[in-house]
Structure 1
Amino acid sequence: MDEYQLIVRALSERIVDAQTPIRVLDAVKWDDSIREGFIKHKGKKLPVVDRAYYDSRPLAFDAAAKKLEFQNIERDVTRQLGQFNPVGQIMRRMCREYRMVIRMLEARGTEDFGLISQELYGAASDAFHAGDPTLSDLGLMFSDYLNNIDKRGDLEDEAKDLTAKQAVDLLQHRLNKVFGEAEETIRVFESDGILADAAAGADYIKIRADAMFNQRDVKALEVHEGLVHVATTLNGLNQPVCTFLAKGPPSSTVTQEGLAILMEVIAFASYPTRLRKLTNRTRGIHMAEEGADFLQVFEFYREQGFSLEEGYSNASRVFRGSTPTGLPFTKDLSYLKGFIMVYNYIQLAVRKGKLEQIPLLFCGKTTLEDMRTLRQLVDEGLVVPPKYLPEQFRDLNSLSAWMCFSNFLNHLSLDRIEADYANIL
């Protein structure tokens, strides 16, 4: 490396090291005693979670010292690279985001927690563009569509007849075929300590030990956790200079989760029940933003047909880090919000003939607002193109054709088409 690359690499490594102890989901989750108490009262009593509860579970780092560490890195980025250096601008924004994350975690159990969460991940009432529907509007719209599909009665889910161990074995086999030479470093294993059915790390995917799965679930996990989350992590770890691309602040969470949902769609791995899960998360967050408490969100899930324990699990995702009567933790908006944003980005890239920028979404834990800069950094040799790419993004012929049709179809009025087609549908 030349001197400039060494400076960038050193600053990047400082960000990677500084963020290591920050584990947002570990810091905000509720322990088993809260779940057990709620179930003991048959879902009729609010969970006992307040500021004191979080104080009893201190952060794994000194918050003041960690904020100062990021402040010092940000200052050194400016000193060593200048105010307008492209890669420096990305690193400074990351430092600011991580400081905001720490402030959010310091505010667990208070109203500020929810307000900072909205700054980091957005709110359900946010519009995509002036005059466009909001995320909450999208959730209601999807619910209407899904209700119409449910009325058919012939699209029932396959039985969940795979144990966690069987799902682990099947998923491991599929990922081995995808990642080839990296197969020995990617592990799939059971875990008791996660809220979701699965979660991806740097070189592993954890499967919740008490969950049941079917073949469609495993395919979705392969696409979502493997082809996106693990692949982007490995591509980030493969960066020789901009090592920060292996780690993702909240802004990259929105992009990465959106990319994962898009991959589910174009790989035909998604299905109505999966979409309803994402829609319900958005609706639950919107309810809490509008003043609903834990019991009201829990009852919303019960009305959807979820069991007592499932309803608790889903509602606790909304209020983790907060209190049962407080503002929600809005991270779960990332899925649908990110999908819309990434889809629009790819549409515009095709429209403007900038296809070379689309695969760069996978070069690490990227953020949409950095994509133009990343293209420049690739040209400069500071960022290497992604090594692991899903087939749908390796050959852009089909994706480009789809987006060309999509760009045109966006100009048609579906309401007018519905009226015209009334006699044939």
Structure 2
Amino acid sequence: MSQVEQAYKEKLKAFSDELIRLQSPLQILDAIKWPREQETKFLASGGTRMPDINADFYQSQALNFNPDTTREDLKALKKAIRKQLGAKDPLGRILVKNLEQSQLVVDLLLSRGTQEFGCISQQLYGSARHKLHGDRHTLRQLGDRLSYLFSLPAARRINKQHPKVISAPEAVDELSRRLSKYFHNDDILVRLSDGIVSDAAVGGDTIKLNSQAMFSEADLNVYEVHEGWVHLGTTLNGRAQPWATWLGSGSPRVAATQEGLAVLLEMLTLSSTPGRARRISDRVAAVDMAESGADFIEVYRHFREQNLSERDSYRVTQRVFRGGMVTGGSCFTKDISYVRGYVENINFIRAAITAGMPELLPMLFVGKLAIEDIPVLYQAHKQGIVEAPEYLPYMFEDYSGLYAWFGFATGLAGIDLKGVQRHFQRLFRDLPTVDPIAEFVEDTEFDDWE
């Protein structure tokens, strides 16, 4: 290694470490979380009492960083990166993109409970009205289509096959056992928590399970691959990077890739359920309604009318309104990342296969990244700057099966399957109990969803 190459790597590491230091206090979810008692009060009112959350509530929740100092430090770091690495350096440009996201996060957290919060959230995560890359349909349209599929009678019957009979302590023990096998060189902590509203949450090398919740076997299957293999795995792979250390720390621009990849792993391992898939799809509708001005109660009632339980209706609504305004028009748009990222990951994999570059696929797990970063990171990997991921799901380690699966899917993508589907639907018509799939096939414009 030449002295010039060594000096470049050391500069890259120094800038990466400084970015991580400045990003660490910018904890978005901690800064916008609601007290658990809000759910109790709201449901006790029969869904008629607006949550007691406004700008004053957020202002009473102190931020754990100095906005002015952080802004100045980020500005100085950006200037130093461009000066010392060069404005056109590929890895330096990724660093700057992440840095610029941190600048926006500072503004986001200062605007909690205001109209501006929703505008900045859209800059960071996008909007439910945005269209998929290369497609004319919006994320809301795709979300509605998926929500319909996952709410058919057959889906509701399947959901009953997954009772929540596992206590939180038992779930901690079982998940710890599973993940200790996967993360063979690292100690992973799974622990109980009284401080989270959701049933599960991940942070760094720790998975927290709600001590008050009950879990199903399917829940544990999802947590193992979603929180474990993807979120924890990419964190640990990123932290193991010798030079590109920023890959161990996320920013909003990586949310779609991270969440979409996690959902994809749920599907590839057959871990998900229709109920889980519907909750993910419903989040897009919740974001769109809140963006369009619907208030908290209106969004909650929408999901109750869609036969979602009181608890699930509250939680999908609360996720979207945290940080924004319960009166509508300003919300947290991160929850579109799951559906958007799922589509983007699938199409990235298909594109890599058809382009004859399946070796790009393991790079999805090299750390916290956005899909568009992968070509640059792959080049850096070939140059010895970025290490290959240590923890890699089996289908991405030996991707021959993945290649075959997506090869078939790509081959079928251009074929009109409506006639084939109608043939099999006719076989089902004489059965005593049939879910209304035939009606769905006839009413849905499949030609519009190639």
What TM-score results when the alignment is normalised by the length of structure 1?
Answer: 0.95
1:31 paired to 2:46: no
1:310-340 Cα shifts (integer Å, max 9, x gaps) = 4333321110001111322111111111110
* Percent identity of equivalent pairs: 37
1:379 paired to 2:385: no
Question: Distance in 1 between the 2:165 and 2:44 partners?
Answer: 29
1:6 paired to 2:36: no
1:144: which partner in 2?
Answer: 148
> 1:13-412 residue pairs with structure 2 within 5 A?
13-150=17-154, 153=157, 156-182=160-186, 185-326=187-328, 327-412=330-415
SS of equivalent to 2:166? coil
Question: Distance in 2 between the 1:152 and 1:330 partners?
Answer: 27
Structure 1 residue 175, shift from structure 2 partner:
0.6
- Do 2:226 and 2:263's aligned partners in 1 also have CA atoms closer than 8 Å? yes
Question: Distance in 2 between the 1:313 and 1:20 partners?
Answer: 27
Query: Letter of the aligned partner of 2:99 in structure 1?
Result: C
SS of equivalent to 2:192? strand
Question: Distance in 2 between the 1:31 and 1:43 partners?
Answer: 17
Structure 1 residue 31, shift from structure 2 partner:
2.0
Structure 1 residue 72, shift from structure 2 partner:
0.9
Identify if the C-alpha distance between structure 1 residues 12 and 131 changes in structure 2 by more than 3 Å, giving closer, same or farther.
closer
SS of equivalent to 1:193? coil
Question: Distance in 1 between the 2:383 and 2:69 partners?
Answer: 35
1:231-281 Cα shifts (integer Å, max 9, x gaps) = 100000100001000001011111011100000100111111110110121
More moved, 239-248 vs 293-302: 293-302
Question: Distance in 2 between the 1:387 and 1:57 partners?
Answer: 39
- Do 1:157 and 1:273's aligned partners in 2 also have CA atoms closer than 8 Å? no
Structure 1 residue 101, shift from structure 2 partner:
1.1
- Do 1:98 and 1:249's aligned partners in 2 also have CA atoms closer than 8 Å? yes
Identify if the C-alpha distance between structure 1 residues 149 and 381 changes in structure 2 by more than 3 Å, giving closer, same or farther.
farther
- Do 2:238 and 2:249's aligned partners in 1 also have CA atoms closer than 8 Å? yes
Query: Letter of the aligned partner of 2:412 in structure 1?
Result: L
Question: Distance in 1 between the 2:400 and 2:103 partners?
Answer: 41
Question: Distance in 2 between the 1:379 and 1:421 partners?
Answer: 49
Structure 2 residues not aligned, in runs of 5+: 429-450
Identify if the C-alpha distance between structure 1 residues 62 and 260 changes in structure 2 by more than 3 Å, giving closer, same or farther.
same
- Do 1:15 and 1:244's aligned partners in 2 also have CA atoms closer than 8 Å? yes
Question: Distance in 2 between the 1:207 and 1:155 partners?
Answer: 21
1:108-151 Cα shifts (integer Å, max 9, x gaps) = 11111011111111111111135432211111111222233537
1:180-225 Cα shifts (integer Å, max 9, x gaps) = 232xx20100111112211112211111111111111111110111
Structure 1 residue 306, shift from structure 2 partner:
4.7
Query: Letter of the aligned partner of 1:338 in structure 2?
Result: G
Structure 1 residue 40, shift from structure 2 partner:
4.8
What TM-score results when the alignment is normalised by the length of structure 2?
Answer: 0.90
Query: Letter of the aligned partner of 1:405 in structure 2?
Result: F
- Do 1:188 and 1:205's aligned partners in 2 also have CA atoms closer than 8 Å? yes
- Do 2:155 and 2:275's aligned partners in 1 also have CA atoms closer than 8 Å? no
- Do 2:36 and 2:197's aligned partners in 1 also have CA atoms closer than 8 Å? no
Identify if the C-alpha distance between structure 1 residues 378 and 424 changes in structure 2 by more than 3 Å, giving closer, same or farther.
same
- Do 1:261 and 1:335's aligned partners in 2 also have CA atoms closer than 8 Å? yes
Structure 1 residue 154, shift from structure 2 partner:
5.5
- Do 1:359 and 1:386's aligned partners in 2 also have CA atoms closer than 8 Å? yes
Question: Distance in 2 between the 1:361 and 1:93 partners?
Answer: 18
Aligned Cα RMSD in Å? 1.8
1:8-64 Cα shifts (integer Å, max 9, x gaps) = 111111001111111000111122453454345332121122212211112111112
Identify if the C-alpha distance between structure 1 residues 415 and 126 changes in structure 2 by more than 3 Å, giving closer, same or farther.
farther
2:446: which partner in 1?
Answer: none
Identify if the C-alpha distance between structure 1 residues 151 and 174 changes in structure 2 by more than 3 Å, giving closer, same or farther.
closer
Structure 1 residues not aligned, in runs of 5+: none
More moved, 118-127 vs 29-38: 29-38
Question: Distance in 2 between the 1:411 and 1:123 partners?
Answer: 29
How many pairs align? Answer: 423
SS of equivalent to 1:153? helix
